[in-house]
Every structure is written in structure tokens, then in C-alpha cells.
Copies of this chain bind each other. A is one copy, B any other.
Amino acid sequence: MSCLFCDIVEGKIPAQIVKKDDHVVVFRDIQPQAPTHVLVVPTKHISTINDLTGQDAAIIGKMVMAAQEVAVAEGIDESGYRMVLNCNKDGGQSVFHIHLHLLGGRTMQWPPG
């Protein structure tokens, strides 16, 4: 089955890539909700956070560290930012390949949606 984010990881579909290594790809959200809004995607296909096993858990750490690095590069580390992971319908998950949203450059409101 085709997956939009696997296609971006493999370079089959263009995206504004911010960072790429063996474990993660970071690219700009096409419908940004803040001055900085990027998605951090593992190169490995995992459909939802529910599907993460203990063995995969390290990838979450790598995703957050990649987002932290991009926050510094975007100059939003001191002002602040929000990271968001959505799972299934109530969470608002739209692409079924896990991804971390990093948003900053404005004051984020509460509740978080």
C-alpha cells in the first residue's frame, strides 16, 4: 500500500526538506499552523503510535532530538515551541505513518486543540 510519507522519505514526492539522516526526515508542513511548522518522520514505516513496540521506542527519542536540533536552527528554542503526536481519529491523525509536529514562532494557546 502506498504511503505519502514513505514516498517523501524515498524522494519520490517532493517536500521542503529541512534535515535528513538514516533515521528521520524533517520537512515543512504544507499547511503550516505557525511560523515554524515542520514534521519529523521516521524513515521506518510505523502506522500509528499504538503500533510502536518497545524496540521501536528509541526512534521516538531520535525524532524528538531531531526536532530539538531544528528548533535551534529555526531560532525558536529560547522563545519556545510545541511538539505534537496525533493518533487515530480523535487525535486528528491524517497520514498513517507516525510523525511529530514541531510548531513555534508564535505563542501557542491552551488547550492544545
Binding site for B on A (CB under 8 A): 33-34, 49-50, 52, 54, 57-62, 64-65, 68, 71, 76-93, 101, 103-113
Does B84 contact A84, Cβ atoms closer than 8 Å? yes
Which of B49, B83, B92, B107 touches A85 (beta carbons < 8 Å)? B83
Tell me the nearest residue of chain B to A54, going by C-beta: B65
| Nearest 5 interchain pairs by C-beta | A80-B88, A57-B61, A80-B90, A33-B111, A80-B91
Q: Are B107 and A103 in contact (CB under 8 A)?
A: no
Evaluate contact between B103 and A112: CB separation under 8 angstroms.
Answer: yes
A90 adjacent to B86 (CB under 8 Å): no
The answer to whether A92 touches B108, judged by C-beta atoms less than 8 angstroms apart, is yes
A86 with B108: CB separation less than 8 A: yes
Residue of B nearest to A33 (CB): B111
Nearest Cβ distance between residue A64 and chain B, in whole angstroms? Answer: 5
